[in-house]
Chain A
Amino acid sequence: MSDTNFDVVIIGAGPGGYVTAIRAAQLGFKTAIVEDKYLGGICLNWGCIPTKALLRSAEIYDFMKRAKEYGLNAEKIGFDGKAIVERSRGVSARLSGGVQHLLKKNKVTIIDGRGILKGKGAVEVSKDGKPVSTIQAKHIILATGARPRALPGLEADGKLIWSYFEALVPDEMPKSMLVIGSGAIGIEFASFYNSMGVDVTVVEVMKQIMPVEDEEISKFARKQLEKHGLKIMTEAKVAKLDKGANNVTATIEDKNGKSQQLVVDRVISAVGVVGNIENLGLEDLGIKTDRGCIVIDDFGRTNISGIYAIGDVAGPPMLAHKAEHEGVICIEKIAGKNAHPMDKNQIPGCTYCHPQVASVGLTEAKAKAAGHEVKVGRFPFLANGKAIALGEDQGLIKTIFDKQTGQLLGAHMVGAEVTELIQGFVIAMKLETTEEELMHTVFPHPTLSEMMHESVLDAYGRVIHM
């Protein structure tokens, strides 16, 4: 490597890192990105993207099972698990190649290896544990992401107890499975394996599945998932996992301390993720961390000048799109652009189980807790023409407005394709529309999006189709 001097060096080429690198290059910075394993990071290689590929297979399989409802004949339906996984890996490989192309196109130098801070303005790159070079940069952005949280006694072993790495590439479908944790990762895997015929039990310590979602939406989703055959235990805790030769005996405690045992072939541990703050050289520089994440200000700056952090390693919500946006704000601030802090209340969240769940902003409970007097609108898929035509009439769109100002505080959805719908409300929130503009907006007919309109109308007692 000839060039060792850069304006900006980014450690980690996940969605936060590579997007920041491209933006930095656009802004005229001489930029390098240091990545040890995968361009595109976990998201693209072991997270968001490959799971969507698996879930698409599951969705089509579900449709095949329902072929008769649509007047179609599908006999002897089945699947090739290996081919499903191969497709998923192929999707990731294609996109990872795309990231490499984008970085090169933007003249970002890609440095293969692991980056460690060596004082201010210097990054040591090592490969296979051996230092290979040191590079200098005025600005160093840490974008090292996160990894699965390992709770004592529930650690993944890669064989019987899986993290998302193993869950993405099963050799064969287990007969039964325990999923610990019902956040987005847990519930998506549970939904996938359930569709593929695995007997899946989800255990969640909180009162509801997908604990960050609106209670009403969570309840609705739970009912649908259970109808689909998923077993769900909330306010329950996995106290112990006893590994057998090819199965695991789980001891599950309910809220009253009563325990029961469940024997399953495989366990997926999906109890959250933690930031990758180790072996980065943070301690030598005295960079502040808090609960496993690097502490930053509104513009990604750490307590040490010239060192920044973005994405999962800089704290929740640990979402790819949050990382990307945080990175762009960080680099634009460095470039002296008119950057504004991200409003974390306007970061949408999507879960791709069946039915899908999507939301942005405050839940009804949080809105009330924040002191808002609210107006709540609801509209069910049952009353929407397009949903009925699709054969997807189970779902709900809920909107929450501040009664006084008409500010859209939150939107929550469950049902088919809601992950594609939510963006309409995200834009509405970003542009600071009130109920008035939403009511005056024309929604195309027949679409699922009409339910967004109706939900807003319902909040103000003006719903038409109900």
Chain B
Amino acid sequence: MQKDCTITGKIWLIIDHQNTLINDIDTDMIFHNQYLAITDIDKMGQYTFDNLEGWKDFVSKAEKGDIVIVGKNFGAGSSRQQAVDCFASLGIQAILAESFGAIYKRNAINSGMPILTITDIDLSELSQKEKITIDLEKGTVSNQYINIQPFSKVQFDIYKAGNLFTFGKKIIEK
């Protein structure tokens, strides 16, 4: 599977009442444990953010191809893959965060969901649903008010291969 190294889409700035990016969004806010028996990815999208104050209607607003922008320590908490897969289920193209929970980061990388770490962002210059283009390999964004780190090597290798399993076939053969 050959994948694009650039992504273009509308942004959702996941902000609170003070207009700052929400920090510490944990996996129960992203995909609550009451839905954990769901194993079919097509059924996961509908529950995304349904326990996140102010964003419970995210699913009705988001569209395929959108990009989600969040604060620090995104995806803290449990190891559930559903908290990544629910975004894939909605067709979200990428997640940008000021930092990620360690397990969440791995889960996203392994499933080929592009996640990128923000080094600098100026929210006062950005508006909801603005369109941006991201170069994953170079780590550049078309909008100068968002700066990100490029993919790491292993992240890029897995992304290009599709996911950890397709990438890992080489490892198994070794």
Query: Does B bind A?
Result: no
